[in-house]
Amino acid sequence: MMIRKATITDAADIAKVHVDCWRTTYKNIMPDEVLEQLCYEQRTELWEANLCSEDGHLAYVAENEMGEIIGFVSGGPEKSGEYPPYGGEITAIYVLKEYHNLGFGKELFMHLLQYFNSMHIHSVIVWVLADNPACTFYERLGARLVVEHHLIHIGGKNLNMVAYGWGLLG
C-alpha cells in the first residue's frame, strides 16, 4: 500500500475514482440521472483547480501494487465557520469498492490527520449523506455524530446530510 500527497498530474485519476465511487456508493441513494450525468472531464477540471489551490486544502492518494490510484482523501481548514469547535474538514474520502476493507481508507484518513496536526488543527468534521454506508467507517474511526439533520436537494430529491466530528486529535 502506497499513500502519497497528490499532485496536479493525478487530477484525471482522482476524477475517475471520484466518479466511479459516486456511481457505486450513491446508487439507490441519489437519483440515477445525477449519477449518469457525472463526467470524468468535468471532475478532472475540478481536481486540477483543487490541487492548484492555495487555501490550505490538499489531497492524498492511495495506490495499489501496480501504481494505480484506487482512492483519495482531501481536506483542509473548515471554511464555513458554522461549526467553531471544528478547525478542519474532510471534504472527500473515496476508495474503489474492490479495495474496501483492506485498510486504504484508514491509512488515507491517518495521513490527513497528520497534516491537520502539522497545521495545529486538532478537531475535524466530515459531512456525509445519512444513507451512505461510510457512516460506519467514520464511527469505527472514533467519530461522533454532531449534526443529525441537514436537508439538501439533489436531482429533484431531498437528501439528509449528517456530520461526524473528531475532537482533540493527536
Residue-wise pLDDT for 124-164, tens only, equals 999 999 999 999 999 999 999 999 988 999 999 999 999 99
Q: For residue 17, which of 59, 58, 72 has the smallest C-alpha distance?
A: 72
Q: Whole-prediction pTM value?
A: 0.94
In the chain, what are the domains?
Answer: 2-166 (3.40.630.30)
Query: Residue 102 gets which letter from DSSP?
Result: S
Question: Could you give the CA distance from residue 105 to residue 113 in angstroms, rounded to a whole number?
Answer: 12
Q: For residue 72, which of 52, 93, 90, 51 has the smallest C-alpha distance?
A: 93
- What pLDDT sits at residue 56? 86
Question: Could you give the CA distance from residue 123 to residue 85 in angstroms, rounded to a whole number?
Answer: 7
Question: Could you give the CA distance from residue 113 to residue 66 in angstroms, rounded to a whole number?
Answer: 26
Structure confidence by residue, pLDDT tens digits, 44-103:
999 999 999 888 899 999 999 999 999 999 999 998 877 778 999 999 999 999 999 999
Structure confidence by residue, pLDDT tens digits, 32-43:
999 999 999 999
